[in-house]
Structure 1
Amino acid sequence: MSVTDFGKALAPVETGIPGLVLWDLPVHGDSRGWFKENWQREKMTAAGLADFGPVQNNISFNDAVGTTRGIHAEPWDKWVSVATGRIFGAWVDLREGPTFGTVFTAELDPSRAIFVPRGVGNSYQTLEPDTAYTYLVNDHWSPEASYSFLNLADETAAIDWPIPLAEVEISAKDLAHPRLSDVVPIPPKKTLVVGANGQLGLALRAAYDGDPSVDFAGRAELDLTGDLSHARRWRDYGTIVNAAAYTAVDAAETDRAGAWAGNVSAVSQLARIATDNGITLAHVSSDYVFDGAADAPYAEDAPVAPLGVYGQTKAAADAIVATVPRHYVVRTSWVIGEGKNFVRTMATLAERGVAPSVVDDQIGRLTFTDEIARGIRHLVETGAPFGTYNLTGAGGPASWAEIAGEVFELTGHDRDRVTGVSTDEYFASATGPVAPRPRWSVLDLAKIEAAGFAPREWRESLRDLLG
């Protein structure tokens, strides 16, 4: 390596292939030799390198000039740099999408490295004897992993090899690789929806209907209370959406073990899996993390003060999910989805001629599960900043009694048949455990609106549901 390669500043160079980034590396040397920081997480991530979490370091040594390795696209990210010598690199995007087949070439010496994202084919030809290059990867080799390959001599890619391929030794396997027209593209990382048979899970099924990159798992397919370490090939997933939860608010007061197992222990497992594998974890939280003593909408950073066991488990889960580097906590309230819910109960009572007594001292907004599903997709697909987001229906807040009156009116009945009562009066005759409810459940929506998501007015969603 020439002296002119010493003293470069750490800097990225775009390549035209999304995610494939060439890097200049500072190399310090004198007559005795040289030194460089081949991987320095703090400096490199600050400069914009993906924090890809390498788990293995490999070295490829090549004693002859012209040693040429085939174009392989692997299901992991790689950080490739030269230890000694010099190589010509060729990279071809073999991922599904508009840049499929895009080619980039460059020479690498010890002062240059390249970040190769999952699914981009990479090949190297040595230009000096005794060349060694090293690569860090963020997954271990597995026979279950899916690879893709491209022939070194593909006419469409038309790579201008410094040493003609006819003059170098190529393995029989690399010679047999397909042309670009026959390459099987690498699909995007998958999304896993857990709790896929609950009311939110059903809405997520509808939202992702027909998307082959989304897997759904109910309790039978994935037991969140068991050991999840080897339940899936987790490096194949980019996102986990946790729609599973213990939601029996009143029963939680006495079934503390069940509530903590479903809402905390299970979430701890998902958080560990997500952290260890670089997965984005989207988790749904609740207004029950607050005590309801406020008189203005709760912002995402408001102090939590849960009143009951259910709220305590949800608050604990929020704190756990917040430790995952890539996370979304989606906090919602008064959820309405498929199956039995407050709106359908009120509509049935209206049809039966019943005049119900309904709580009028709890204030909030309805949130429909299709809106939660739409909001989660928006956050994940737009790459919104990680963190906590409130997501409820928009519009003016109301009490449960006022919502019941809306249901009566929209179904053609007299809303005055609904009588408002206090929470204490409503539960006065209860024979089982009753969890304390927050009296104020209005959540501030400014943050998610600033992220480009416009929650639908809950009254419009109510009208649509009731026809």
Structure 2
Amino acid sequence: MTEFGKQLTRTDTPIPGLVVFDLPVHGDSRGWFKENWQREKMVPAGLPDFGPVQNNISFNDQVGTTRGIHAEPWDKWVSVASGRIFGAWVDLREGPTFGAVYTTELDPSKAIFVPRGVGNSYQTLEPDTAYTYLVNDHWSPDASYSFLNLADETAAIDWPIPLDQVEISAKDLAHPRLADVTPIPPKKTLIVGSNGQLGKALRAAYGDQPWVEYTTRDTLDLTAPGLETARRWRDYDTIINAAAYTAVDTAESPEGRTAAWAGNVTGVAALARIATGYGITFVHVSSDYVFDGTKTGPYTETDRVSPLGVYGQTKAAGDAVVSTVPRHYIIRTSWVIGDGNNFVRTMAALAERGINPSVVNDQTGRLTFTATIADAIQHLVDSRAPYGLYNVTNGGEPTTWYDIARDVYRLTGHDPDRVTPVTTEQYYADAKTPIAPRPQNSVLNLDRLRELGYRPAPALPTLTAWLAGPTPQAGSTQFMRTTNTHG
């Protein structure tokens, strides 16, 4: 008999994400009424905001009608409209709880949230039983399903009505035992721009996991038509956008301006629409160039942006777009160093070649190694940190480009006094092409990141370790001039 007047409450089960809810049912002599799905009340009570797109009803004439065990690649919200059912759920997802079992009875005053990849089965305990389920994806022949035999000895489900006495399909009877089940893999992570400096660090961090995909501009053009149908996006949990237009000075030219807006805004907006539409977590990388650098003291996540040049303007616009995605992380960083052309690699190569550079000494910030960014992204995503904007750089005292150049010379066994300081104005005095304005203060406050338990390593020890790696080659020269000591 349905119990009336219960409070909306949740009960967790041994299967992660499988949650039973008691529903308030109001009844009198005419019958009963309940709110079967009420987002405003149920999400605060602990039901995931899973975005249902379809509502199905299964009607069963006879007691003992048995269906399952089916694991689908979507989430389900199952409740009883009339009658009563015995339900059995088996975790068929990859991971430590594979094979875990939970059983309970459901009547109209109870419902259960079944996460993607958890096998579900139902046996009716009363005639004319109907149960309804909301799902957050449409059926597709391309989706990946998994099945388990109802009589599997490992699961050892204690069916109220023995399986040899029930109404059941031949197909369900023929499902494999647990030892032969293909586990449902995790939802996919898509890393965009995987050939860049950050992309390579993300490759190193995420490795060759089968659920991680890496794309380049050649394999996924964010500005091309048809992006929204280029993947089965419902299968993705996270998109990490490591792609960006970063030619800061070229962005000041007409051609560069067009390319910067296309790469940093148009493409980002396309990914943001997809992430919003499919409930995907969107990770996006921002820049210190969104600030004008006039603030005294480090920039926080709440400081207003005021970019000086085209590149900074496009990054600020991209950030604004991403901030509208319900599940987003914006990683604001500065002075990035990784596997590719960069300032540190150039300084090391010049030191080895006997070249004495002039380096700007009126821009202040901290180096950020791409391995630190990749590690911080994993920390935020894996820990399900609150969505929003996070500053990410390496730690330690702020320095100038001149200071860093001296450190590189010293750490590679060369005289740091070979580096000459110049102002930004002096450095660019003879420039023949448009030069983007640089923020003089690029120091980012790291308190919010540290409050989440992530403390980035200091920049100088990280620089020391980085220089001990493969032999640096010449790269970026945007902050130095050189004179050759060999004439």
The TM-score, its normalising length taken from structure 1, stands at 0.98
1:22 corresponds to: 20
Aligned letter for 1:327? H
Which among 120, 123, 136 is matched to residue 121 of structure 2?
123
Instruction: Determine the C-alpha separation between the residues in 1 that align with 2:354 and 2:93.
Output: 60
Rounded to whole Å, the distance in 2 between the matches of 1:440 and 1:279 is 34
Structure 1, gaps ≥5 residues long? none
Look up the SS of the partner of 1:204 in the other structure.
helix
Equivalent in the alignment of 2:213:
215
Matched, 1:53 2:51: yes
Quote the offset at 1:65 in angstroms.
Answer: 1.3
Identity between Structure 1 and Structure 2 (%):
72
Aligned-partner Cα distance in 2 for 1:33–1:17: 34
Could you tell me which residue of structure 1 aligns to residue 148 of structure 2? Answer: 150
The aligned counterpart of 1:236 is: 235
When structure 1 is superposed on structure 2, of 107-116 and 220-229 the one drifting more is 220-229
CA deviations on 1:304-362 (whole Å, 9 max, x unpaired) are 11111111111111111111111111110000111211111111221222221111110
**Aligned-partner Cα distance in 2 for 1:189–1:195:** 20
User: In the alignment, what sits opposite 1:10?
Assistant: 8
Separation (CA, whole Å) in 1 of partners of 2:437 and 2:242:
24
Moved >6 Å (runs of 4+): none
Q: Matches of residues 406-445 of structure 1 in structure 2 within 5 Å? A: 406-445=407-446
Structure-1 separation of matches of 2:382 and 2:171: 38
Structure-to-structure mapping, 1:75-94, within 5 angstroms = 75-94=73-92
Moved more, 182-191 or 72-81: 182-191
Aligned partner of residue 344 in structure 1, secondary structure: helix
Equivalent residues, number: 465
1:107 offset after TM fit, Å? 1.0
How many angstroms does 1:378 deviate by? 1.1
Report deviation, 1:364: 0.4
Letter in 2 for 1:95: R
Amino acid at match of 2:240: V
Distance 1:175 1:114 in 2: 24
Query: Secondary structure at the residue paired with 1:343?
Result: helix
Determine the structure 2 residue equivalent to 1:193: 191
Matches within 5 A, 1:102-121: 102-121=100-119
CA distance in 1, matches of 2:17, 2:206: 25
1:97 and 2:107 are equivalent in the alignment: no
Correspondence 1:168-183 to 2 at 5 A:
168-183=166-181
Determine the C-alpha separation between the residues in 2 that align with 1:11 and 1:159. Answer: 26
Q: Letter of the aligned partner of 1:258 in structure 2?
A: A
CA distance in 1, matches of 2:363, 2:394: 16
SS of corresponding position for 1:70: strand
Q: How do residues 22-421 of structure 1 correspond to structure 2 at under 5 angstroms?
A: 22-226=20-224, 227-254=226-253, 255-421=256-422
CA distance in 2, matches of 1:100, 1:284: 35
Could you tell me how far apart the structure 2 residues matched to 1:166 and 1:354 are? 85
Deviation at 1:210, TM superposition (A): 3.0
**How far is the alpha carbon of 1:440 from its aligned partner?**
0.2
Cα deviation code 1:393-422 (max 9, x no counterpart): 110111111111111111111111111111
Task: Kindly provide the CA deviation profile for residues 77-114 of structure 1, in whole angstroms up to 9, marking residues without a partner as x.
Answer: 00001111111111111111111111111111111100
Larger mean Cα displacement after TM superposition, 108-117 or 224-233: 224-233
Q: How far, CA to CA, are the matches of 1:231 and 1:464 in structure 2?
A: 40
What code does the residue aligned with 2:247 have?
A: A
- SS for the counterpart of 1:350 is helix
Q: Is the partner of 2:26 in helix, strand or coil?
A: strand
How far apart are 1:295 and its partner, in Å? 1.4
Amino acid in structure 1 at the alignment position of 2:228: S
Q: Is the 8 A contact 2:70 2:146 kept in 1?
A: yes
Q: Do the aligned residues in 1 keep the contact of 2:196 with 2:340 (CA within 8 Å)?
A: no
Which one-letter code corresponds to 1:435 in the other structure? A
Q: Which letter does structure 1 place at the counterpart of 2:419? A: V
Find the aligned partners of 1:213 and 1:384 in 2 and give their Cα distance.
21
Of stretches 67-76 and 347-356 in structure 1, the one that deviates more from structure 2 is 347-356
**Post-superposition shift, 1:179?**
0.8
Gaps of 5+ in 2: 469-487
- Residue identity opposite 2:288 in structure 1: D
Distance, in Å, in 2 between the alignment partners of 1:340 and 1:181 is 50
Whole-angstrom CA distance in 1 between matches of 2:228 and 2:353: 51
Q: Matches of 1:407 and 1:33 in 2, distance apart?
A: 79
Indicate the larger mover: 145-154 or 225-234.
225-234
Classify the secondary structure of the residue corresponding to 1:356.
strand
Could you say what secondary structure the match of 2:57 adopts? strand
- Once the two structures are TM-superposed, the CA of residue 209 in structure 1 deviates from its matched residue by 1.7
> What is the CA RMSD across the aligned residues, in angstroms?
1.0
Query: 2-side partners of 1:15 and 1:202: how far apart?
Result: 39
What is the deviation of 1:49? 0.7
